[in-house]
Structure 1
Amino acid sequence: MFSISQEIVRCRKSIDLFVNLLKWPAALSMLLAAPAAVQAFNRYYVIRNQLHAHNLIYFGIGVLGFAAARVVFIARRGAAETMEHEITHMLFAMATLHRVTGMDVRDEGGGSMTFAGKGNWLIVIAPYFFPLTAFLMMFFAALVSRIAGYTPDWVYIALGAALGYNLFSFAEQLHPRQTDLKKVGFIFAACFLPGANLLSFGTVFAFVERGLNGVLFFYKLIWYYATRDAANLF
């Protein structure tokens, strides 16, 4: 007898198997992506006179403004960062058809998220390379631009602050005692996270510089440099 819940479980198991098979190929891809991203940013420097400096200046104000506020007030990671961390786990769990069964966020820091099924490495490591706040702000910026016909300067400042928030959050989360990193393995994390973070934050930078066309240009550069480096290696 056909059962939707049983079909979802079967699909979930297939997705987990597929994602887990991609674990080390993904790490290898990020090992190629990291130097490709560095070369892409070097290319941006070469063509700096052609970039939309106005956007980047206001974006930089947001990043530096948040960093200054964080340092001056000596703010520590709190419930907001933990909430974002667990929500990111939750989103990737749901994206791979895992039913979320609970989430706990403690005021003093720390939290947990539980879901049905065994899960996969992508759910575990997602909060360490997916800047949720910055990506949500990027989506909001695209929406404002679509409705208003242009992007106000304050949106770039807010996007910069969101990116700064995620940078500080990531820096505080990445430490040897982090249980998520133990689950996926420190060697894998060391191979995967640098490239994944360069792609994530590079995406935001490219969007600020030239919108969605800028993101497309950024990934064309990544593909060009990564395939060239791979050809030279192999």
Structure 2
Amino acid sequence: MPSDQQRILARAAREITAGQIVNLGIGLPTRLFHYLPPDLEVLVHSENGVLGCQLIDDGAEADPEMIDSGGAYIGTRPGASVFDSALSFAMIRRRRVDITFMGAFEVDRQGNLANWKIPGKFSPGIGGAMELAQKVERLVVLCSHNDKHGTPKILEHCRLPLTAPRCVSLIITEKAAMRVTHSGLEVVDIAEELSVDALRAATGAELIIDESRLGRF
């Protein structure tokens, strides 16, 4: 059985299609590199100023000047380009990035996202997440369904400071994939071993579920 993170990442990779410019947020989303088919033609964007990121080839030495926005060493594919952060954010603001993947502390049924600040704890700042959340056409959240205390992260209304309002298109956790709609959160896929009742019990928001159309992952 795959781990929770493996399940999330494998499901998330299905949202990426050929020809897209894809932004991978800090943390779990950056591991999507490992789930992209080698023949899939996409350009991975990093907001610090790289287009065409890829994993470092096995055995290759890391270039200390080539990092992603989280500070991790990366490689570049043929045809990649490097530029300053002003141009990188101009790409974002002009909606040249097709899809971005981010983590979250909380997401709610309206698609509001809170992923940068827990009151009373240190935060380096909101960073580029605010721009990406507002400007990228599709934002997919990748996160655990509940926090380490078992408290739901998927809520009726976010309680933490928002990164951006009504910006999330899809939420993928280890338990389900949920599309944000005008009517609420529509479950499109549910984990193989999980019942609908168990999913509802683990979620802090009402869910729209049509069991006749429900996929498994």
Fold match by TM threshold 0.5: no
Larger of the two Rg values belongs to structure: 1
Judging by fraction of residues, say which structure has more strand: 2
Q: TM-score normalised to the size of structure 2?
A: 0.26
Which structure has more RCO (C-alpha within 8 Å, separation ≥ 6)?
A: 1
Q: TM-score normalised to the size of structure 1?
A: 0.24
